[in-house]
Amino acid sequence: MELTTHAPVVSGARSLRSVGSGSRQAAAWNLWDRHSGSAYSLACALLGSHAAAADAVALAMADLARSGEESDDQARRVLARSIYCHGAVPAAAVSDTERLPRPMVWLSRLARLQRASLALCVYGGLTHREAAELLDVAPATVADLLTAGLKELGVLAAADAATCA
């Protein structure tokens, strides 16, 4: 199954209505158009669930719209932080990993901090230092988590390829 790159519009519409009306809401929809796909990929990578990802992205996009950030780089950082914070309390108790593409399933099997480090740095575009601050660990720990996580993903991919062959 292929991962959709767009967050569900219904959840986003509810959240974006909360930012007001007129030009402010138009600006919020513009942010949604520019960032919802990458934010949804980040949320799926962090949370391992379409339902939890949709909830976290809707909340994070409303946070972004209220923040007033205009630069794409800063907006991406606000989204990554917000998605991580909103996803810290899972929105869905049951993971729906069977609907995720294989690489996302492998990512969901990593230890929590490995998965968070990879998702925040790769999908969220955060630096090691920014991810470390968010995860409350040292930047060197994030580098170690990234290395270990990538190695583990390689093992999981090889094992998956062996079972498919």
Does the residue 3 lie in any domain? no
CB 92 within 8 A of CB 54: no
Does the residue 90 lie in any domain? yes
Handedness of CA 157, 151, 146, 93 (dihedral sign): positive
Does the residue 126 lie in any domain? yes
Q: What is the pTM of this model?
A: 0.63
Structural tokens at position 75: 């907006």
Does the residue 58 lie in any domain? yes
CA angle centred on 55, ends 52 and 59, rounded to 5°: 140
Q: Looking at residue 115, which CATH number applies to its domain?
A: 1.20.140
Does the residue 1 lie in any domain? no
**53-100 pLDDT per residue, tens:** 888 888 888 888 778 777 788 888 888 888 888 776 443 343 555 566
Q: Which domain holds residue 144?
A: 9-164
Total domains, the chain: 1
Does the residue 2 lie in any domain? no
Does the residue 147 lie in any domain? yes
**121-136 pLDDT per residue, tens:** 888 888 999 999 988 9
Report helix, strand or coil for 137.
Answer: coil
